[in-house]
């Protein structure tokens, strides 16, 4: 058979149709991209992601609008109470907000500890541990209340919230208005005392110089202007600043903030370790300034003050005489003029340095040597002398006792003998003309600190019987204290700061119990 018979002609496909059919079958669809394939296969997931993104954008927009509204109404109306406040009121409230913000930053994230090895020896108790329940009020005056404490308590309560947590235990009571008044009352304090303190602070505010110092306008006991040198200004500024800090008035306080700020600026306007110079003036002004620098740093945590406090304290340690005291011009050797009056201020300066928590080399050793020196200044009657080997002086007995209480010796026989002499001879004075303000500054602190020792409350009770009435009733109408009994270096500023500090004794430093 030939080929035509096997495949008849009518069953064959025309060549054109065959080619066309083959071409139709062999044409493939275009290739699909990876992204297109992903979008096709995950349509549901993609829809969910897009919806979530849109929801996030909407929520962020709503949150932004809410924050914008909150911030726009916050700037000038913190602690607002309804209507539009006067401009002065707004300004005061802004100051309170700033203070709260600063204090929040100042609080440590961990419990504050001290780096000097002997600080545990002066650890202080909480308020409830103080044995002062037998100190019943003994002066006929109304007991103080928060509304009559002499300050704008609403502002101060808010401003002081939490700051006590950043302070050593001994200083915490001064910064909580409620605890401050509670301490004043439990120690036998009266409204007239707190009122006199604030009145004195206002007088200091009015007499501050433009550069932030005190002393340039100072007057002596006869009301005559004194020639105020740099040492006098540094010492008086330090004393005034301590008065404000004792009442927990800081650089942002509603009533005294600018005053405190200018004072801090002044005492940091010269090197912290500049030479004390010849004579005795620098050996007093430097430790007083150091005392203020250290306490200001402890309470404000201003970074610049940390460096100043450390260097100033190091100069005090370096200036100590070999016998444990401090001499005029920080002299060295047995021939140098060392005395307890100079030593007392340097000891207080190192106490304040210890409370800063700054590591200061040689502090413990210096204090141990100082206490040995102080004990050598006591006579057989219990009084403390100006210099070793001499008779005791009424004006320095409190200096000796307080020094012992500051550093490990509150329970010592020497401290008790000194306290006995004070209450028998000084506590009975009720006439301002016989009051040695210098001595009473120390006496008040020494008798109050005695309440931290078992059986020591009797000394404070005896001292406090007439103390605050004698001091407050002799304050002048403008807030300063007039001349009383003569003491070396007497001036209006010095006398007034001494009076304020002795009245702040009820809450400025709590008594030691571990000594």
Query: Is residue 416 assigned to a domain?
Result: yes
DSSP summary character for residue 504: G
Which residue has better confidence, 65 or 241? 241
Please say whether the beta carbons of 285 and 234 come within 8 A: yes
Range of the domain at 438: 119-506
Task: Render pLDDT for 235-290 as a digit per residue (tens, 0 to 9).
Answer: 999 999 999 999 999 999 999 999 999 999 999 999 999 999 999 999 999 999 99
Is the residue at 279 inside a domain? Answer: yes
Report the Cα–Cα distance between both ends of the chain, in Å, rounded: 136
CATH number, domain with residue 256: 1.50.10.20
Q: What is the pLDDT of residues 23-53, one digit of tens each?
A: 444 445 555 566 666 666 677 777 788 888 8
Rounded-to-integer distance, Cα 153 and Cα 185, Å = 17
Q: Which two tokens stand for residue 154?
A: 């609403």
With respect to residue 381, please indicate whether it lies within any of the assigned structural domains.
Answer: yes
Q: Report whether 214 contacts 240 (CB < 8 A).
A: yes
pLDDT at 116: 33
Instruction: Count Cβ atoms within 10 A of the Cβ of residue 3 and give its class: 0-12 exposed, 13-18 middle, 19 or more buried.
Output: exposed
Could you tell me if residue 114 is inside a domain? no
User: Exposed, middle or buried by CB within 10 Å (0-12, 13-18, 19+), for 126?
Assistant: exposed
Residue 51 lies in a domain: no
Tell me the two tokens of residue 150: 């002499």
3-state SS of 401-463 is HHHHHHCCCCCCHHHHHHHHHHHHHCCCCCCHHHCCHHHHHHHHHHHHHHHHCCCCHHHHHHH
**Phi and psi of 214, rounded to 5°?**
-125, 155
Percent of the chain with pLDDT strictly greater than 70: 71
| Burial classification of residue 466, based on how many CB atoms lie within 10 Å of its CB (0-12 exposed, 13-18 middle, 19 or more buried) | middle
* Tens-place pLDDT, residues 429-446: 999 999 999 999 999 999
Higher pLDDT: 86 or 391? It is 391
Is 142 a residue whose pLDDT tops 90?
A: no
> Which of 57-66, 98-107, 456-465 comes out lowest in average pLDDT?
98-107
Higher-scoring residue by pLDDT: 137, 456: 456
Q: Say how far apart CA 245 and CA 292 lie, in whole Å.
A: 9
CA atoms of 218 and 228, how far apart (whole Å)? 7
Q: What is the mean pLDDT of the chain?
A: 80
Q: Specify the DSSP element, H or E, that contains 156.
A: helix 153-159
Identify which has the larger pLDDT, 486 or 308: 308
CB–CB of 209/135 below 8 Å?
Answer: no
Indicate whether 12 belongs to any domain.
Answer: no
Residues in the chain: 515
Whether 32 is covered by a domain: the verdict is no
- Backbone phi, psi, residue 79, to 5°: 60, 30
List b or e across 262-272, with b for residues whose CB sees 16 or more CB atoms inside 10 angstroms: bbbebbbeeeb
* Rg of the chain in Å (alpha carbons): 37
The backbone torsions φ and ψ at residue 292, rounded to the nearest 5 degrees and listed phi first, read -70, -40
Whether 146 contacts 153, CB under 8 Å: yes
Beta bridge partners of 320: 326
The Cβ of residue 163 has, within 10 Å, a number of other Cβ atoms equal to 23
Query: What is the tally of structural domains in the chain?
Result: 1
Gap between the Cα atoms of 508 and 285, Å rounded: 22
The model carries a pTM of 0.71
Q: Average of pLDDT values for 466-489? A: 93
Given a contact cutoff of 8 angstroms between Cβ atoms, the answer to whether 374 and 339 are in contact is no
The pLDDT of residue 183 is above 60: yes
Among candidate residues 460, 395, 376, the one with its CA nearest the CA of residue 188: 460
| Residues whose CB is less than 8 angstroms from the CB of residue 286 and which lie 6 or more positions away in sequence, other chains included | 234, 276, 312, 315, 316, 319
Distances (CA, A) of 338 to 37, 291, 325: 96, 20, 6
**Domain contains 43:** no
Query: Which phi and psi angles does 393 have, rounded to 5°?
Result: -125, 140
């Amino acid at each position: 058979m030939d080929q035509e018979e096997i495949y008849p002609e009518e069953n064959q496909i025309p060549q054109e149709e065959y080619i066309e059919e083959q071409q139709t079958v062999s044409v493939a669809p275009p290739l699909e991209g990876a992204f297109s394939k992903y979008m096709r296969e995950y349509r549901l997931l993609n829809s969910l992601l897009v919806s979530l993104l849109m929801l996030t954008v909407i929520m962020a927009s709503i949150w932004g609008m809410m924050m914008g509204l909150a911030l726009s109404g916050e700037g000038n109306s913190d602690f607002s109470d309804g209507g539009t406040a006067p401009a002065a009121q707004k300004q005061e409230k802004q100051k309170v907000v700033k203070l709260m913000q600063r204090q929040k930053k100042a609080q440590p994230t961990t419990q504050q500890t001290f780096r000097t090895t002997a600080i545990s020896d002066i650890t202080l108790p909480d308020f409830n541990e103080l044995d002062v329940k037998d100190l019943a009020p003994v002066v006929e005056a109304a007991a103080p209340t928060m509304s009559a404490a002499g300050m704008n308590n609403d502002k101060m309560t808010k401003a002081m919230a939490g700051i006590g947590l950043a302070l050593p235990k001994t200083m915490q009571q001064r910064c909580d208005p409620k605890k401050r008044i509670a301490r004043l009352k439990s120690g036998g304090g009266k409204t007239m005392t707190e009122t006199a303190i604030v009145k004195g602070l206002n007088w200091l505010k009015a007499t501050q110089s433009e550069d932030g110092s005190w002393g340039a306008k100072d007057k002596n006991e006869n009301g005559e202007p004194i020639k105020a040198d740099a040492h006098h200004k540094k010492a008086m500024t330090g004393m005034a600043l301590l008065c404000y800090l004792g009442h927990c008035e800081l650089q942002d306080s509603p009533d005294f903030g600018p005053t405190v700020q200018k004072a801090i600026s002044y005492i940091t306007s010269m090197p912290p370790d500049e030479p004390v110079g010849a004579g005795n003036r620098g050996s007093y002004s430097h430790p007083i300034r150091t005392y203020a620098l250290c306490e200001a740093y402890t309470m404000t945590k201003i970074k610049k003050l940390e460096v100043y406090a450390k260097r100033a304290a190091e100069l005090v340690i370096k200036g100590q005489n070999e016998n444990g005291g401090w001499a005029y011009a920080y002299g060295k050797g047995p021939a140098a003029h060392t005395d307890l009056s100079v030593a007392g201020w340097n000891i207080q300066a190192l106490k304040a340095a210890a409370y800063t928590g700054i590591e200061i080399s040689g502090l413990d050793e210096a204090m141990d040597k100082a206490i040995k020196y102080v004990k050598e200044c006591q006579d057989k009657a219990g009084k403390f002398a100006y210099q070793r080997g001499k008779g005791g002086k009424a004006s320095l007995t409190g200096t000796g006792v307080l020094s012992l209480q500051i550093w490990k010796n509150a329970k010592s026989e020497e401290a008790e003998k000194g306290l006995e002499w004070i209450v028998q001879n000084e506590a009975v004075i009720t006439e301002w003309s016989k009051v040695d303000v210098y001595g009473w500054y120390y006496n008040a602190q020494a008798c109050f600190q005695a309440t931290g020792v078992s059986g020591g409350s009797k000394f404070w009770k005896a001292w406090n019987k007439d103390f605050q009435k004698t001091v407050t009733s002799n304050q002048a109408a403008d807030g300063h204290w007039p001349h009383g009994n003569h003491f070396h270096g007497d001036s209006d500023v010095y006398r007034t700061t001494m009076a304020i500090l002795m009245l702040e004794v009820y809450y400025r430093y709590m008594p030691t119990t571990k000594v």
